[in-house]
Amino acid sequence: MTRLAIICLVLLAWLPVQADTNQPVATALLLNEKSAMTLTAGLEQYAHPPKFAGKFSSIGSGGTTFLMNHWAAEFARLYPDVEMDIHGGGPADGLPALLDGKVDLVPMSRPLPAEDIARFKKKFGYEPSQIVVAQDSIGVFVNKTNPLTGLTLTQLDAIFSSDAKRGGGRPEFWSDLGVTGPLADKMISRFCLVHAYGSPVYFREYVMQGSDYRFDVQLEPVPSSLVQAVGADDAGIGFASVMFATARTRFVPVQAGDGRYLLPSYENTLSGAYPLVRPLRIVFNRKPDGTMNPAAREFLRFAVSRRGQQLIALAGSYPLTTEQQQTALQVIGDAP
């Protein structure tokens, strides 16, 4: 084989497979009311006491805190005497506060790191409890007019990282990603959340293999502003939870391990076929004898209940399966 032929094969392998260019807008992947009710129909319903009082606090991941606020609005209606202090800020703030006993719940968008588990166990003598409260995927957003048909993890690494450890080079223009037409000669506008959020940490670890972000990546303070920025910029690209989908953006199919280019749909998230799946979870302090803040326990029971999961499904998230719900309820446990 000639040297020219080898170069051509390498370039072809790097470009995305040409898929259907009529990809739906991002909101088309979210669950509608009927599908949300159908998918949660088998979950155990919340059996709440007639009256309940207490208070709890929460600091953690912005995406999971977004769901916390949806649950809190309904929980407050059920229990007006329960005081809830819920803040974002990221797990970097929440985990030290949990260790110091200053908060009861730490919403997370990734598993608790082993070093944090070790710190907790060293102080309390047992490991922290954590439950999955929603299914989620990281969607790669582009403007709805962008004709890009798909990306590999190698290309995603090359777009956002400073040194492209996967070997994808340094794409600067949309033509470098195989895009033709009016957008081809435009420079890529990169958007990322501030790094207090869990998704940039997850993306750096899993996609970029620990690399730093490029210096020209534009940081956005909240997921909604990131997706809005991409929707307003025809040359923009960013990533965030699928729950922040807008009609001005669409999801880019990402290459899975079997070579298919997949969207972050409910089905692809549930099966784990989509490569950027990351369950959302909550970490809390439950003693080995089952003792924990009663108000926090009751809130968690509501969050994973049928009603709680219906609320977040209608807000753009993906609900738990019956098996995930039962696992969560076992971890939460009953009051001793």
Query: pLDDT 10s digit of each residue in the chain, 336 long?
Result: 444 333 333 333 344 433 344 678 999 999 999 999 999 999 999 987 778 899 999 998 888 989 999 999 999 999 999 999 998 876 677 888 899 999 999 999 888 889 999 999 999 999 999 999 999 999 999 999 999 999 999 999 999 999 999 999 999 999 999 999 999 999 999 999 987 788 898 999 999 999 999 999 999 998 999 999 999 999 999 999 999 999 999 999 999 999 999 999 999 999 999 999 999 999 999 999 999 999 999 999 999 999 999 999 999 999 999 999 999 999 999 887
- Find how far residue 103's CA is from the centre of its chain: 22
* Secondary structure (DSSP) of 209-252: TTPPBPTTPEEESSHHHHHHHHHH-TTEEEEEEGGG--TTEEEP
Q: How far apart are CA 124 and CA 112, in angstroms?
A: 16
> 148 and 199 in contact (C-beta within 8 Å)?
no
Q: pTM for this one?
A: 0.88
In the chain, what are the domains?
A: 33-136+279-332 (3.40.190.10), 137-271 (3.40.190.10)
